Structure 1
Amino acid sequence: MVTHISKKDQPNKSGEKSDVHAVNLTPWQKANLEYRKKNGQDATWSPTVIAGQEQKEEPQLSENASDLPIEGGSLNPNGSFADRLPKLKYERNSVLYRRLTIIILLFLIPLLFTLYYVSPLSKLAAVHVVKNDTVTKTAVTQAAGFNLDEGLWSQYWHRKENEAKIKKALPRVKSVSVAIEHFNEFKLTVTEYQEVAILEKGDSYAPVIENGKVLAETVKKPAENLPILEDFKSQKRILAVLKQYQKLSQALRSSISQIKYTPTNANAELLNLLMNDGNTVIINISNLAEQLKYYPQVAKELKGKGVVDMEVGIFTYPYPKEDEKTKETTNSSNSAQSENNQNETNENTAENETQSETNNNTQIEQ
């Protein structure tokens, strides 16, 4: 804190009060002094100087406190210009460097993009297919329709269209994803539908995948451990059966050999299940998973091969004897027919031998 001190507040160094009247004054000084007293003003001149006494010069305090030094530091917080000059140079250089960096980046970034787009890194170099099982990598690559040595990013932005092409051309493909690897190569990750059944088509069999779709491809020999579907015409009906089939335990799935669709006028959901143990189960599609779980217990109570009817409730009965007689009659007829054919063959052979001997004798006589 700076205290302003005026001359009139300073004490007399001799310790005595200054008395202007004790000094010999000229008449005009006295008149001036009286005039100032009347007006309430102090004298602007010192009586000691008039009296010839030399007054010690006292330091005058500046009215501006900021120009005076104070103990422990300077009154000017910013210091002198010479002290601030290095800081000003540093700030100026920092601003220049910042502006220069921005200008360089504005020119460098477009240049780098241009160099990238004209380089081989911006072109598609290869397409890799992974996690495929049944479908071939070549089939997936051809169905995708990606063009090598053409723009990488333009094809990547439209990858959804290529994924749709793959799923349309290859019904086995459930999903496919395209990702970039090694800077300029595509990696196609394929997920396939699983085969869950086989549909009988005359002398051949067509795979049925988990979405209920029957594939166009056919095989002569059905796959093992898959049920054979017969007489199904509707994909919706196949899908309904497969949903119930997937709810079964693995043991029950393995026990089913064939699933035959046998609708009636009264029941359009009726199925005949041919089991591996020789029994036949009559059951509705909608109740397949719920009722078939009781089959192992029911099958143990059967004394022989027969039918387990679960259409309404659960009851069993053996195969009709007429069917067995029909099978025996058919087998006997086939055996008799085979014997007749064998006899006819033997008779024809004997006749041929007799005719041959006659011809030989005739030739000898001649």
Structure 2
Amino acid sequence: MSKKNVVSIEDRIPKLKQARKKKANRRLIFYLSIFFFLISIIVYLQSPLSHIKTIQIHGNSHVSDETIIEQSGLTMDTNIWMLNHENIEKKLSKNPVIESVEVSRNLPWTVNIHVNEFKIVGYMKEETNYFPILGNGVTLKELGQTSFNGKSPLILGFTKEEYLHRMAEELNELPFNISALISEVHWQPTEDNKYKILLYMNDGYMVDATIRNFADNMQVYPSIVAQLEPQSKGIIHLGVGVYFESFNKKPADDVEEIDGVEEGNLTE
């Protein structure tokens, strides 16, 4: 063996020590990095840097931003990483105007609250003021106004909350193209039927109906009107049987069948 290839132990020991030292230094730097990283996280979580700076409210028109923020329990001291989405949504869902709510976090400092309110299904008139009624039957007394836009019907004569709530729920299920045709809804209970209602429509017809299954029964209204002569106005009955009674007086036996819709006289 050539002497040139022989390395003495004395020559190798310094190199081994140097390699071990470098390895130990790298390990120390690694552990120190983790340590300072964890310390930084703890300091961040305990400092105002992790607090909410912006709360954005979306979708509300009846409930103010301030009310929603107050009811949510959020403040600018709330840690954005400590948000309890389910708890906040539960708190806001107790508001009778709010149908559903979704809370999300937008880093680094923003919380978004998306609100879905019950839609306005009608207006109740008291003296000279109009009060909006929501789809869950809640009347917004704090939002009284001297006029209304006519996009939702007047709801008149409902003196009992039970029936007003049922009516509002049915109107809430109506598609807009049908609800927009309704001008007024009058509660006209009888001894036999406490759910009886009379509707005045924007197209000139009247509808005799019941609160029970009103949304389902009104689905046929457009097809019934389409079968009637434009000049023939009267009452469309939506009950056990669906038929039309004209305002024009005719002989009692003058009844015309129109694809299952009867047309006859308006009884006196």
Shorter-normalised TM-score: what interval? 0.5 to 0.7
User: How big is the shift at 1:128?
Assistant: 3.4
Conserved in 2, the CA contact under 8 Å of 1:197 and 1:207? yes
> CA-to-partner distance for each residue in 1:279-316, whole Å, 9 max, x for gaps?
3111234252343233323542654x432333323131
Over aligned residues, Cα RMSD in angstroms?
3.8
Distance (whole Å) between structure 2 residues aligned to residue 80 and residue 238 of structure 1? 102
TM-score by length of structure 2 reads 0.67
Distance (whole Å) between structure 2 residues aligned to residue 244 and residue 130 of structure 1? 23
User: How big is the shift at 1:97?
Assistant: 4.5
Conserved in 2, the CA contact under 8 Å of 1:198 and 1:223? no
Structure 2 residue aligned with 1:215: 140
Structure 2 residue aligned with 1:143: 71
Structure 2 residue aligned with 1:189: 114
Aligned length: 237
Structure 2 residue aligned with 1:339: none
Distance (whole Å) between structure 2 residues aligned to residue 266 and residue 200 of structure 1? 27
Paired residue for 1:174, among 96, 100, 103?
Answer: 100
Conserved in 2, the CA contact under 8 Å of 1:271 and 1:283? yes
The answer to whether 1:104 aligns with 2:32 is yes
Distance (whole Å) between structure 2 residues aligned to residue 186 and residue 243 of structure 1? 30
Structure 2 residue aligned with 1:127: 55
TM-score by length of structure 1 reads 0.52
Distance (whole Å) between structure 1 residues aligned to residue 181 and residue 80 of structure 2? 53
Structure 2 residue aligned with 1:152: 79
Structure scoring higher RCO (CA < 8 A, sep ≥ 6) equals 2
Unpaired runs of at least 5, structure 2: 250-268
Amino acid at match of 1:152: N
Conserved in 2, the CA contact under 8 Å of 1:198 and 1:227? yes
Amino acid at match of 1:221: S
Gap change, CA 1:164 and 1:93, over 3 Å in 2? same
Unpaired runs of at least 5, structure 1: 1-68, 70-78, 321-366
Distance (whole Å) between structure 1 residues aligned to residue 179 and residue 58 of structure 2? 31
The answer to whether 1:115 aligns with 2:43 is yes
The answer to whether 1:263 aligns with 2:189 is yes
Distance (whole Å) between structure 1 residues aligned to residue 172 and residue 78 of structure 2? 44
Conserved in 1, the CA contact under 8 Å of 2:63 and 2:97? no
Q: Which has the larger radius of gyration?
A: 1
Structure 2 residue aligned with 1:50: none
Conserved in 1, the CA contact under 8 Å of 2:121 and 2:168? no
Q: Which has the higher helix share?
A: 1
User: How big is the shift at 1:91?
Assistant: 7.0
Identity level (%): 20
Distance (whole Å) between structure 2 residues aligned to residue 95 and residue 185 of structure 1? 44
